[in-house]
Amino acid sequence: MSLTHIPLRVATGAFIVNSGISKLGADEGTAQFLHGAAASTYPAVFKDMEAKRFARLLAFSEIGVGTALLAPMVPATVAGAALTGFGASLVGMYLKTPSMTLDDGIRPSQEGIGVAKDVWLVGAGLTLLTQGIASAAKSGAKTSKRALRKALPTAR
């Protein structure tokens, strides 16, 4: 894990793990609310799922994404891809729910502010993903250069 990734990974990872843990014991009303939001946005995936089962799936998904961010052995590309996907699903829900945005369909209504802020998850995920890819490419280029030097006799 790059030292420059630590603040971003700890802040987002801890926040997401905590969110997931808080959903583990979701009561029926909370489960219904969470399921209703997801089912109305992504009906093909969640419409037929039982609310309590959805809440547990969401809780374990959040704990998994948060743990991937906190675990130093998880590469930035993997943690960033997980965070980007998770954040994108939340932003998708925000954009697809008319009551969450003002008439322009972008700016948040009072109801949408809590979800609109999740755009930072996408930005953080893309930062980790792109930095991880760039770092891997740079490392790969160095490795390839070393291998070429070994393989090709140098003219003196």
CA angle centred on 44, ends 58 and 93, rounded to 5°: 55
Q: What is the C-alpha to C-alpha distance for residues 107 and 30, in angstroms, rounded to an integer?
A: 26
* pLDDT by position in tens, the chain (length 156): 788 889 999 999 999 999 999 999 999 999 999 999 899 889 999 999 999 999 999 999 999 999 999 999 999 999 999 999 999 999 988 888 888 889 998 899 998 888 888 899 999 999 999 998 988 887 766 666 666 566 666 644
Residue 2 φ/ψ, nearest 5 degrees:
-70, 140
C-alpha to C-alpha distances, 140 to 41, 67, 103, 147, nearest whole angstrom: 41, 27, 48, 10
| pLDDT for 142 | 67
- Residue 41 phi/psi, 5-degree rounding, is -85, -45
Which of 2, 3, 9, 4 lies closest to 83 in space, CA to CA?
9
Longest dimension (CA), the chain: 78
**How much is the pTM?**
0.80
pLDDT at 116: 84
Domain spans of the chain, in order of start: 3-146
